[in-house]
Structure 1
C-alpha cells in the first residue's frame, strides 16, 4: 500500500480512531486489573474474583485457605448442651457481638502464602496522606488495596511460663517475621474493629509479602511462593474470657456459652496454637513477684502465704454454688490481682479448647523441659509450625543457646523462696487438677510430682 493512501484525510481519520480505540481498551483493561506487561503484578496474588470481597463466606471449610462457616463450629459436648438448653444460637451471637470482625475478613486467603493474608480494597478518600501505611497502598488505576495478614500461630498461654522468651526465639527463625508479642487483642480488646488488630501486624505483613521463593504447582507451573509467617504471643488468650460476662446470658451453672476459642475458630479454623505450662504452684509465686513493682505494699513470704489462703478460700466458696468451669472463667472473684489462683487450672481451659480445635493444632509443652533441653524443645516447635531447619550458625546460637540470667533474680534474692507450708497448701489445691491434666494429655510429667 502506497504512502499516498495514508495521506488521504479519510485514511488518517480511520487510523487515528483505531489508535484511540486501542488506547481506551488498554486503559480499561488496566483499570479492571488485567495485566499487560508487568504493570500490576500484585494483582496476580489476588484470589478469584479479583475484587476482594469483604463479605463472610457461607461455604464449608475445604482447603486451608478457606474461611470457616460459622454454622460448623466445634463445640465441646458440655458447651453444646448449655447452648441447646438455653436456646442459644452461636452463629447469631457471634455475628451480633463481632460484626466488625467478620465484615473485615476476606472470602479466601491468598493460596500462594503460607501465612493467612489477603488484599483489602479501600476507598481513595480513606487513604489519608498522614497515615503511616499510606506509602504501602497498592494502586491499580482507580482501585486501591492494602495488604493484610493475620497471625499464622498463637502462643496462647500461660503467663509466667516463659512465653516471652519462646516468642522471641521463634521470631529468630529465618522463616518467621516478628509480629506482636502481647497485643492481648482477642482476649481484652476484641470489641473494637479488626482494623486495629491488623494494623499491629502491618510491618510483618509487608515483610511477608517481600519474602518469596520460586515454587512449582501441581501442574508444573513456576510461581512465587511466600513462605514466611508471623505470630501473636498473648498468654491471656486461653483463659481470659470475661468480656462475654456482660451479656447476661441465662445458662445453667453460670458457665460461659461462648469461648474465645469459638471466635478464633470462626476466623481461623486452621490456625496453630502453642501452650506452655509450668508447675502451677511455681507459676503463681513467679507472678506474685512479677507484679511487685506495680503495687504499693511490701511483698513478703508471709504476705504471699496469707493471700494464697485467702484466694483458696474464695475459690472454694465459689464451688459451693457453681461448677469448677464456672469459677475458672469468673473474672470477678473478690481476690487480689497478684494471686490469680484460677490461672493454674490448666485442664479446664485446655479441655475446652480441645473440644473446638483438633489435637494436632495445639502444641502443649512444659517450661521445665524448655529450660532443661532448649534445643529439643525448640526443634519440636519448629516442626509443629512446619518450618525448615536452621542452618546459619549465628541463627542457631541465637535460638538454641540458653539464657542463664533469670529475669526475677532480684525479686527472689530480696524476698526468698516460697515458704514450705505455702507450697504444701498450693500443691494440695492443684493436685486434682494436675491429675486431670495428665490424664487429658496422657503424660504423667504434667503431675509435677
Structure 2
C-alpha cells in the first residue's frame, strides 16, 4: 500500500495563532492532523519540521527521517485532508520547493501573520522560555544578530540556531512571496492573527471552504499558546533533558531522586534558569522598530491586498 502523504500544510508563522488553528482543524471529521497527548511528543508530532533543513534545526526537535515522517500519517484513514502544522516552514527558503515536490496533489497552504515588531518580541520570548535563546534582553538579542549570522553567540542549548535572526525572520513579505511563486496564489491562503481573534469561527469556516471540506462544521476554538502546554515542572525537565542529551536520560536521572528532594531541586533549578522577561517592548525601541519595518509592512500590504496601516501604530498590539 502506498504511503499516505499530506495535502495541506499550516506553514506559520509561529506565535501567530497556528496552535489554536491546529487544534480547531483537528476536530473536523474530514481532516487528519497528527498529534500526541504526552508532553515530550507533543511538538514533534504537531510540528515535525521535516522540510526545513536550511534552518539548521537540531534533530532532537524535528523529524529528520522519511520513514518517521510518513509514520505520522499512518492513521489518517479516509480523511479528505491530511496535513501538518510546522510553523517554521514559513521562515525556510527551501521548504516551499521541498513541500511541492513531496506533497500529494491539490496541496493547500495556510499562513497566519501578525505585526512584525510584535512578532519578533513574542518569538524572542518563546525562544527564551525554551532555552533556544539565552539573551534575556530583547534589545541585546537584536544587536547580536550580526554575530549570530557569522555563527557566533549561538546558545549551546538552542535547537533553532537558524531562527534567532529576528529581523530576517520577520520580513514576512519575502516568505509569503516564496509560497505564492511556488504554489500559485490560488493554493495559498493568508490570514492575520487579528482575524482569528475577532471572528474565529468565520475564519475557520473560510479555511474549511478553502480545504474543500464541510464548512458547516463548527469546532470549539480556544486560544492556545505552546509556551503554556507544559507545566513549569515539565519545562524544567525539558531543559534538563536538553542538558543531558535526551529526555530518556533525564527520566533516568529523576527516577533516582526521592520526591521531596526532587521538589526542592526543581525549585532551585527554576530559579537558576535564564531570566525570562515579559513581552513588553521598551517604548523607544518599539518606535524605532516600527519605523524600521514600515516599508516591510507596506510591501506586505500590497502583496496581500489588505490595508495593514494599523500595524505601523506605535502602541503595542494585544500580547499573545
Q: TM-score range, shorter-chain basis?
A: 0.5 to 0.7
Give the Cα separation in 2 of the matches to 1:387 and 1:308. 42
- Other structure's SS at 2:117 match: helix
- Which aligned pairs between 1:268-279 and structure 2 lie closer than 5 A? 268=103, 270-279=106-115
Partner of 2:190: 364
Give the Cα separation in 1 of the matches to 2:31 and 2:63. 29
TM-score, normalising length: structure 1: 0.48
Partner of 1:325: none
Higher strand fraction (1 or 2): 1
- Which aligned pairs between 1:287-436 and structure 2 lie closer than 5 A? 287-295=123-131, 303-311=137-145, 314=146, 334=152, 338=164, 340-391=166-217, 396=218, 399-403=219-223, 415=278, 417-436=280-299
When residues 297 and 356 of structure 1 are mapped into structure 2, their CA distance, relative to the original with a 3 A threshold, is closer
Deviation sequence 1:41-77 (CA, Å, 0-9, x none): xxxxxxxxxxxxxxxxxxxxxxxxxxxxxxxxxxxxx
Deviation sequence 1:80-104 (CA, Å, 0-9, x none): xxxxxxxxxxxxxxxxxxxxxxxxx
- Which aligned pairs between 1:28-67 and structure 2 lie closer than 5 A? none
When residues 191 and 291 of structure 1 are mapped into structure 2, their CA distance, relative to the original with a 3 A threshold, is closer
Contact kept? 1:156, 1:238, Cα under 8 Å: yes
1:379, CA displacement in angstroms?
1.0
1:402, CA displacement in angstroms?
4.2
1:295, CA displacement in angstroms?
3.4
Contact kept? 1:158, 1:277, Cα under 8 Å: yes
1:171, CA displacement in angstroms?
0.7
1:416, CA displacement in angstroms?
5.8
When residues 345 and 416 of structure 1 are mapped into structure 2, their CA distance, relative to the original with a 3 A threshold, is closer
- Which aligned pairs between 1:192-231 and structure 2 lie closer than 5 A? 194-204=66-76, 207-208=77-78, 228-231=80-83
List alignment gaps of at least 5 residues for structure 1: 1-118, 121-147, 209-226, 242-258, 316-329
List alignment gaps of at least 5 residues for structure 2: 35-44, 54-58, 155-160, 233-275, 313-320
Q: Does 1:156 align with 2:19?
A: no
Contact kept? 2:205, 2:216, Cα under 8 Å: no
Deviation sequence 1:398-431 (CA, Å, 0-9, x none): x2444488956x9xx9636221112112212221
Contact kept? 2:20, 2:224, Cα under 8 Å: no
Give the Cα separation in 1 of the matches to 2:50 and 2:166. 20
Deviation sequence 1:86-138 (CA, Å, 0-9, x none): xxxxxxxxxxxxxxxxxxxxxxxxxxxxxxxxx23xxxxxxxxxxxxxxxxxx
Contact kept? 2:20, 2:222, Cα under 8 Å: no
Q: Which runs of 4+ in 1 moved over 4 A?
A: 189-193, 296-300, 330-339, 404-408
TM-score, normalising length: structure 2: 0.65
When residues 361 and 332 of structure 1 are mapped into structure 2, their CA distance, relative to the original with a 3 A threshold, is farther
- Other structure's SS at 1:157 match: coil
- Other structure's SS at 2:308 match: helix
- Which aligned pairs between 1:1-20 and structure 2 lie closer than 5 A? none
Partner of 1:175: 30
Contact kept? 2:124, 2:138, Cα under 8 Å: yes
Q: Does 1:441 align with 2:296?
A: no
Give the Cα separation in 2 of the matches to 1:405 and 1:159. 10
Give the Cα separation in 2 of the matches to 1:270 and 1:238. 19
Contact kept? 1:287, 1:339, Cα under 8 Å: no
When residues 167 and 402 of structure 1 are mapped into structure 2, their CA distance, relative to the original with a 3 A threshold, is closer
Deviation sequence 1:153-189 (CA, Å, 0-9, x none): 1011111111111111111112112324200011137
The higher radius of gyration belongs to 1
1:267, CA displacement in angstroms?
2.8
